Structure 1
């Protein structure tokens, strides 16, 4: 239920942010779907809906779901950190940046809440270390499309990708490298967290024990010995 509720809140925040941006009548508002934050949060909605359905049908998450959610969380958390840095730098330069409630939810509250909830979920699986390099595939693909599209429309979703707004190719490469390093670091932290508290579901899946079985559960009595009558 928490997963489905979070997906609904995320979807509402995305819709609000879309119309809030369109109301500004700017090129940024018209390119709402070009932001990495928006794309990663759309992926979060899809993954959480799938996870909500899974939670109603099985006692433990399949490994592919834990991997998918950890990858999406890597992207949303890193996007939130980048957004916080942009707002902070804009404040230092005296540039006003309006942050509606939907932006606050998408960049800060939803990624943090989802990560905490996933960490505490007893049925989650540990994720492999290959998610660290794997988490870079989407940002690199997104960056390639953004750098190809930017010169054609004269706009970039983040200022540090625009060579006109940075000191040169050197600052662009350094900033992009730092961003990729943060993606990898967040993915490594999530992989480590998933292993610090091993999921109970993994041990039970191997032993075939019933996760819901408790000390007072019913037990099957052995058949009565030959020549004896069962107790009534």
Structure 2
């Protein structure tokens, strides 16, 4: 009788345990490794909301950056039209202009993903890495040209549109890449793709320049360099810049995520 009298008590206890199990599993599933068992669903919800709030902030920033990019491209187009000898179609021969257009697309795509997802898909960060590399190299090359212009007896103006395209937008895009915690972990083989577009652009520019007699940059123009070896030297420097910067950006995407310890 004692055994039978105790059976209902065991049954009620077991039922309560079964009903509470799903809630426990859900709470534990949302708990990151190393977090205390006191972690609750409310804490998980708050952390998720905070994460998406930060992602939305990045999305807004990328929308602003895309708008600034469009304004800079239009302003630079208006600026180069002021040169009497400038042909409109030459505008699209500048690597800075082409990479700037691609950057606007990357900013818009990055904003859309930031508004809708907590983590970037691999294809987006692969595209962002390439574009960020291209606009950074464009800024470095342009800065080098401006510095060297004094030794070549000519002056290069740097209007506000050019400052945005060559300096401000690349710097902010780099800051975005370094601080964005939603990046995916990119493989090292990503850097193998970085020279594809510059290689095609360089070959096209040399062939086109020989036909029309115009080059977007002095180091590609045979009339402005000492010979093919100088052009080759500049090209090798560009290759080092492209691959080196792409490798650094890839390394930044592979950094381990640090978790902030929570109090017991």
Structure (1 or 2) with the larger CA radius of gyration? 2
1:154 aligns with one of 180, 194, 213: 213
Deviations 1:145-186 (A, max 9, x none): 101100111100011111121111111111111111111111
Distance 2:241 2:190 in 1: 13
CA RMSD, aligned part only? Answer: 1.8
Residues 1:115 and 2:174 aligned together: yes
2:159 aligns with one of 75, 89, 100: 100
- Cα distance change, pair 164–93 in 1 and its aligned pair in 2 (3 A): closer
Distance 2:204 2:84 in 1: 24
Distance 2:202 2:166 in 1: 19
Distance 2:258 2:134 in 1: 23
Q: CA deviation at 1:197?
A: 4.4
1:191 aligns with one of 240, 250, 255: 250
Distance 2:151 2:201 in 1: 28
- TM-score normalised over the length of structure 2: 0.73
Distance 2:152 2:257 in 1: 46
Secondary structure, aligned partner of 1:164: helix
The structure whose residues are more often helix, as a share, is 2
- Cα distance change, pair 28–76 in 1 and its aligned pair in 2 (3 A): farther
Structure 2: which 5+ runs fail to align?
1-59
Q: How many residues align?
A: 202
- TM-score normalised over the length of structure 1: 0.82
Deviations 1:60-84 (A, max 9, x none): 1111111110100111000110000
Residues 1:88 and 2:147 aligned together: yes
